[in-house]
Structure 1
Amino acid sequence: MTIEHLDLEYSAEDIRDFIETAVATRGSENRPRFYAITGSHIYGFDSADSDIDVRGLHMAPAESYAYLDTPAEEVTVNMDGTTEGFEEYAEVDLRSYELKKFAQLLQSANYNIVELVFEAPTVMNGMPLEMDALQDLIREFLPMNVPHAYLGMAKSNYYKHLDPKKAEGYDPRAKKFLYVYRGLLGAQYVVEYEDIEADIFDLAEAVDGGDPELVDDLVAHKRTGDSATVPSALEERARDAITGQFNAIGEFPMPDKSGYRKALDNWMRKVRA
């Protein structure tokens, strides 16, 4: 999947130039390898003011790990405000992981990185065969603890933003309901299908108890203005749906990752070769 179907302010070529320049700022020997668009653009609820979230991996020379000063685990640009020198790309946020850190995140079943591998529209791919092999590798071991990660994200966002009694940053906007609901549906989807789906519309259609009409209404409201809190009737529907999904989630299977770490090591060794 490429980015041509996305309505972005920048072309794929522009974003690739940005990536190459950004990654080189932390070491001219860093080699950008794979990058894709993530965040709200693949979740199905981007709006006109949504940033363009670019995530991916680069490779530092393998021998650099033999020294006291090992390579930086990641390169970030425009993550907390605009990085000096990158004003032209102020709407693009970049987080590039060195290959080892990327594999460590996969080993911990980080759902953001798993989604990046499976679902994100690609803007740069200098290792297509290796990325196809990585998809096959991960799919062999799913669900692992990916459902637990999705559920943890949903709970964290709910108690942080949507629980009026506990939330320090109470913020009942459509965006917050969508993040929580997507996490709950994503957890169920991985268990039921042993696969990954990032788009909340597809999740609501596929998961038992999902409410596509609610998703339509929340996304429509988000796109009217991200600062707007939802009307009381829509908030009630969203809370009912979220409560229903929380209650529907039973015990997840115990994560079975036997052999997964070794498989990732073997994959990483081939990529560095």
Structure 2
Amino acid sequence: MSPTPLTLARAGLPVVDLRPDPADAPGPLVFATVSGAHLYGFPSRDSDVDLRGVHVLPAEALVGLREPEETRTRMWERDGVELDLVTHDLRTFVRLMLRPNGYVLEQLLSPLVVHTSALHTELAALVPGVLTRHHAHHYRGFAGTQWRLYGRTGELKPLLYTFRALLTGIHLMRSGEVLAHLPALLDEVDAPAYLPGLIEAKAEAEHAAATEADGQTVTRDIEALHRVLDEAQERSRLPETATAFDALHDLVVRARLTP
């Protein structure tokens, strides 16, 4: 399936062919999607393109003596655009899905698709069965990491990542939906009114300084969103444990053994 140019262009992606060469993967490519700032809704003019996906290693790669290439990273340039592709073997990716790891779910469900397959569709359909209340810990932890980075650099990028992680976590706890796009989240969760201005400022440069952000105000708002996330987790109707383990196991076995 080819990517939809209009969808990709609206996300601020460059008008180049973003599809990876399937021959470069260590096994059949299940999917490749755009992640990072383009997915989150605040790319800069000089942002590179982060591609994430899944490949399926042949069975013999896992039963022999050689170490399998369960994760592959590749970087290249096409028409002046830097692309970064990271793919995991299906089993590795599914194990990450079964942890409270929102990052891989965002990759799997990204609407910015550059390569897909029937297996991609099957995998995405099982996401509701891996969502739990404990995914709040992932977003809380990621927000904390980015907040500390903002404290060291004063850049807009980690500040927006902090807000995005907290709002995604709150929305997930309340609705059971994984939504990574910050502008869309602003329509779903109460958030500071100055965030659209910060998103606009970030568009000018990948490492722009957060000169328009008042330190005390931002600190107060981040602390408030942490409290909202705590409350949303307590009230969430998401289960304590994942329910899709058996279905995911069967999918991995079938994908591995089907020629």
Partners of 1:92 and 1:65 lie apart in 2 by 29
How far residue 221 of structure 1 moved from its aligned partner, in angstroms, is 1.3
Number of equivalences: 247
Structure 1 residues 241-256: aligned runs within 5 Å: 241-250=221-230, 252=233, 256=240
Q: 1:141 to 1:105 in 2, by over 3 A?
A: closer
How far residue 105 of structure 1 moved from its aligned partner, in angstroms, is 1.2
Contact 2:98 2:130 in 1 (8 A): no
Does residue 36 of structure 2 align to residue 39 of structure 1? yes
Within the candidate set 197, 201, 207, 1:221 is matched to 201
RMSD across aligned C-alpha pairs, in angstroms? 2.4
* Higher relative contact order, structure no. (Cα contacts within 8 Å, ≥ 6 residues apart): 2
Within the candidate set 200, 207, 212, 2:182 is matched to 200
What is the aligned partner in structure 2 of residue 108 from structure 1? 99
How far residue 248 of structure 1 moved from its aligned partner, in angstroms, is 2.3
Partners of 1:39 and 1:120 lie apart in 2 by 12
User: Per the alignment, in what secondary structure is the counterpart of residue 47 of structure 2?
Assistant: coil
Amino acid at match of 1:96: T
Contact 2:129 2:244 in 1 (8 A): no
Q: Taking structure 2 as the reference length, what is the TM-score of the superposition? A: 0.85
Contact 2:32 2:54 in 1 (8 A): yes
- For residues 49-105 of structure 1, the C-alpha deviation after alignment (integer angstroms, 9 at most, x for no partner) is 111111101111123211121421111012xxxxxxx44476100101111111111
Structure 1: state its 5+ residue gaps: 79-85, 163-169
Does residue 191 of structure 2 align to residue 210 of structure 1? yes
Partners of 2:250 and 2:133 lie apart in 1 by 19
Amino acid at match of 2:117: G
What is the aligned partner in structure 2 of residue 261 from structure 1? 245
Q: 1:141 to 1:110 in 2, by over 3 A?
A: closer
Q: 1:57 to 1:230 in 2, by over 3 A?
A: same
Identity over aligned residues, as a percent?
Answer: 25
Q: Taking structure 1 as the reference length, what is the TM-score of the superposition? A: 0.81
Amino acid at match of 2:115: M
What is the aligned partner in structure 2 of residue 133 from structure 1? 122
Within the candidate set 114, 137, 146, 1:157 is matched to 146
The worse-fitting range, judged by mean Cα deviation, of 229-238 and 145-154 is 229-238
Q: 1:68 to 1:233 in 2, by over 3 A?
A: closer
Partners of 2:4 and 2:82 lie apart in 1 by 16
Contact 2:139 2:169 in 1 (8 A): yes
The worse-fitting range, judged by mean Cα deviation, of 30-39 and 246-255 is 246-255
User: Per the alignment, in what secondary structure is the counterpart of residue 109 of structure 1?
Assistant: coil
Partners of 1:34 and 1:227 lie apart in 2 by 29
What is the aligned partner in structure 2 of residue 167 from structure 1? none
Partners of 1:61 and 1:195 lie apart in 2 by 33
What is the aligned partner in structure 1 of residue 137 from structure 2? 148
